[in-house]
Amino acid sequence: MRLLYLIRHAAPDIQPNVPTPEWRLSQRGIDDARRLGEIARPWKLQSIYSSVEPKAESTALIVGDAAGLTVRVTQGFQELHFDQWFDNADEFSRAVRSILASPDVSTRGAERASAAASRFEAGVHIVEDGPFPAAIVSHGRVLTAYLAQLLHVEDAFELWKSIPMPGWACVDIEPAAPKLIEPFRGLEEVS
C-alpha cells in the first residue's frame, strides 16, 4: 500500500480585497491546524508536501512540525483558479458545481477542473518518488477535481461539499488500483 493523506487546509482569514491565493490562516485556522497535527501523529507520516499558497503551507508547517517533518512546498497543488471573487455563497456554489460537472470546460474564466486535476496529478508523481505514508496539504476544489478523476467519482460537487476545513482523506495510490481508504473527515468527527 502507498498511503497518501489528502488534507484540505485550515480556515483562512478571508480578505475580499486580497487575492485568495495570498490568504493566510486565521487564528482559528492556526488552532485547528495544531489539533490536526496531533490527530495526524498516528498516521506515521514519512513526508509532507504543500501547495504554494500560504494558507496551505502554514497548515502543512504546523502538521509537519508535530510529525518532525520538513514540508516540501510543491507546484501543482495550488487551488483550482477562479478569475473572479464571489461575494454570494450560492453563486459561488453554482460556479463550483458547473466547473466540476463539466471538467473539460472553462466556466466563468475558471481553470478547467480536468487541467487542475492533471496539474495536481503531476505533483503526486513527485510525491511518489518519496517515502510513504505521505501527506499533501492543498485545497478543496483541486482535491475534488483530482479525486473525481482518479476514483471516477460520480457527483464531484457532493464530494466537494463534504470536505471539512481542515479535513483529510486517505487514498491508496497503487497504480493498478487506486482506492479510497478513508473518506474525508474533520475535527468535529474526532473526539
Residue 9: which pLDDT band, with cuts at 50, 70 and 90?
Answer: very high
pTM of the shown model? 0.95
Instruction: Name residue, grid cell 473525481.
Output: 148
Q: Residue 1 and residue 50: Cα distance in Å, rounded?
A: 22
CA-to-CA separations, 137 to 25, 48, 154, 157, in angstroms, rounded = 13, 8, 24, 20
The domains of the chain, with CATH numbers, are: 3-189 (3.40.50.1240)
pLDDT confidence bin for 17, thresholds 50/70/90: confident
| Chain segment 45-73, per-residue pLDDT in tens | 999 999 999 999 999 999 999 999 999 99
The model's confidence at residue 106, banded by pLDDT at 50, 70 and 90, is confident
